[in-house]
Structure 1
Amino acid sequence: MKVLLLEDEYMLRVSITEFLEEMGFEVDGFANGEKAYDAIYETHYDLYLLDVNVPGIDGFSLLRTLRKEGNKTPAIFLTSMVNVSDLQEGYKSGCCDYIRKPFDLTELQLRIMHALKSFYHQGENVIDFGGGLVYDTESFTLTHNGESIALSKTEKEIFSVLLKHTNQVVSVETFQDEIWGEYVDPANIRVQINNLRKKLPLDIIQNRRGLGYILER
């Protein structure tokens, strides 16, 4: 999963980035709101972490603009503001959570997990596909009869995209946008998906010829 981090304090941005990357996220960090806004229209992100007082567009205005444009990606504000009016402004802008600085990175992890589960998995901690195949939404891992299924970084990203669009056909163009953010040879994408399908004990990923792929539950 990809995270956009808007934070103008350099060391905090580095610390959060390293922490999230250890968790398996891909992180793009920005110190300027305008640059973050531009990046959102070049790359698909699964979560926004937004500081409020940053150069360019402030975090509140950035998210408010995105929501008006129909962008529903979950967002968490990171801010040192403590007034109730500021908290109200954050939620009015469209955030799903709000964390005050300074904060422990473990707290940030818990809030991120809650936001992602609430938005993408309707609060499910574990998704059971039957036949012993289980996906843990907290650790982002697949297991079969308790044994972990080893997936490459790209295979994990493909599965995450399919899971997010459960029971919907996902086109090659969607994989390009949400994983690579640029054109990738469709043949290469098909190879990656077929490699993933071979590792799964159940045939839960179906090919819809000429349309794309679907993960069925």
Structure 2
Amino acid sequence: MKILLLEDETILKESIEEFLSSKDYTVDSFENSSDAFDAIFCKEYDLLLLDVNVPGEFNGFSLRKELGDEGKNIPTIFVTSMSSADAMLQGYANGCCDYIKKPFDLIELQLRVQHALKSNCFKTDSDMLQLPCDYRYDVNNRKLIGISGEIQLSKTENDILTLFIKHRNQIVTFEMLYEEIWENNVEAANARVQINNLRRKLPKDVIENIYGIGYRLDCQ
């Protein structure tokens, strides 16, 4: 597994690189976001570990957003000293799988890395994603299939479900939903109605409400 690490604290960067290398990961480390950005388009990486406040053209958040805009949807963990709830929400809004606050134990980092790679929050192993209670989602044809056959979804419901699947087993924040589904042109109450309409078409609690933050699609 190849990991890109963006971290401008030299001692921490070297510690993370040495630790993950000892766990049989291949790690390319960078201190400058512009260099990291270029590397991502030259090599294939399975996971990105990004600090936020780093030298270069981008900070960690804007780097991840730019990659998403360019179609580079690589599982990403932010590793940062920015510990506020607003910063965490911004991280998830820009497409991360996880968010680790400094300081942290390297064993915790290892567990987070393993989970992100296992859940692989941007890819599916086949065209048909298995959901709980024998529900399935045809990724290519955007069809939800229940026990009795296809379940009709509106375009917006399909867009919401696709976003949840893209980030399955991870938190999808309200901000992510508002921006990616409605381009921030929606009232919160109307958005909740459409999300709840989708939830009613799925088995109970498959889409979990994460109070005050957003939702999570449970595919485990």
What is the count of residue pairs matched by the alignment?
122
Match of 1:5 in 2: 5
Counterpart residue identity of residue 105, structure 1:
L
2:81 and 2:109 map into 1 onto residues whose CA distance is: 14
2:35 and 2:98 map into 1 onto residues whose CA distance is: 23
Ranges in structure 2 where 5+ consecutive residues have no aligned partner: 126-220
Partner-residue secondary structure (3-state), 1:85: helix
Q: Where do 1:1-217 residues align within 5 Å?
A: 1-56=1-56, 57-119=58-120
State the Cα distance separating 1:71 from its structure 2 match. 1.2
Q: For residues 12-58 of structure 1, what are the alpha-carbon distances to aligned partners after superposition, in whole Å with 9 as ceiling and x for unaligned?
A: 00000000000001110000000000000111111000000000111
State the Cα distance separating 1:84 from its structure 2 match. 0.7
2:68 and 2:85 map into 1 onto residues whose CA distance is: 22
Counterpart residue identity of residue 112, structure 1:
V
State the Cα distance separating 1:104 from its structure 2 match. 0.2
1:76 and 1:121 map into 2 onto residues whose CA distance is: 19
Structure 1 length-normalised TM: 0.55
Counterpart residue identity of residue 106, structure 1:
I
Match of 2:201 in 1: none
Match of 2:152 in 1: none
Counterpart residue identity of residue 42, structure 2:
E
2:114 and 2:33 map into 1 onto residues whose CA distance is: 24
Give the superposed CA RMSD.
Answer: 1.2
Counterpart residue identity of residue 117, structure 1:
K
Structure 2 length-normalised TM: 0.54
Distance 1:121-1:16 versus aligned 2 partners, 3 A rule: farther
Q: For residues 176-205 of structure 1, what are the alpha-carbon distances to aligned partners after superposition, in whole Å with 9 as ceiling and x for unaligned?
A: xxxxxxxxxxxxxxxxxxxxxxxxxxxxxx
State the Cα distance separating 1:68 from its structure 2 match. 1.0
2:113 and 2:5 map into 1 onto residues whose CA distance is: 12
Counterpart residue identity of residue 16, structure 1:
I
Partner-residue secondary structure (3-state), 2:34: helix
1:62 and 1:31 map into 2 onto residues whose CA distance is: 13
1:3 and 1:27 map into 2 onto residues whose CA distance is: 5
1:71 and 1:5 map into 2 onto residues whose CA distance is: 16
State the Cα distance separating 1:6 from its structure 2 match. 0.0
Counterpart residue identity of residue 39, structure 2:
A
Moved over 2 A (4+): none
Q: For residues 122-146 of structure 1, what are the alpha-carbon distances to aligned partners after superposition, in whole Å with 9 as ceiling and x for unaligned?
A: 8xxxxxxxxxxxxxxxxxxxxxxxx
Partner-residue secondary structure (3-state), 1:95: coil
1:23 and 1:116 map into 2 onto residues whose CA distance is: 14
Ranges in structure 1 where 5+ consecutive residues have no aligned partner: 123-217
1:59 and 1:95 map into 2 onto residues whose CA distance is: 10
1:75 and 1:85 map into 2 onto residues whose CA distance is: 18
State the Cα distance separating 1:97 from its structure 2 match. 0.1
1:51 and 1:76 map into 2 onto residues whose CA distance is: 9
State the Cα distance separating 1:121 from its structure 2 match. 8.2
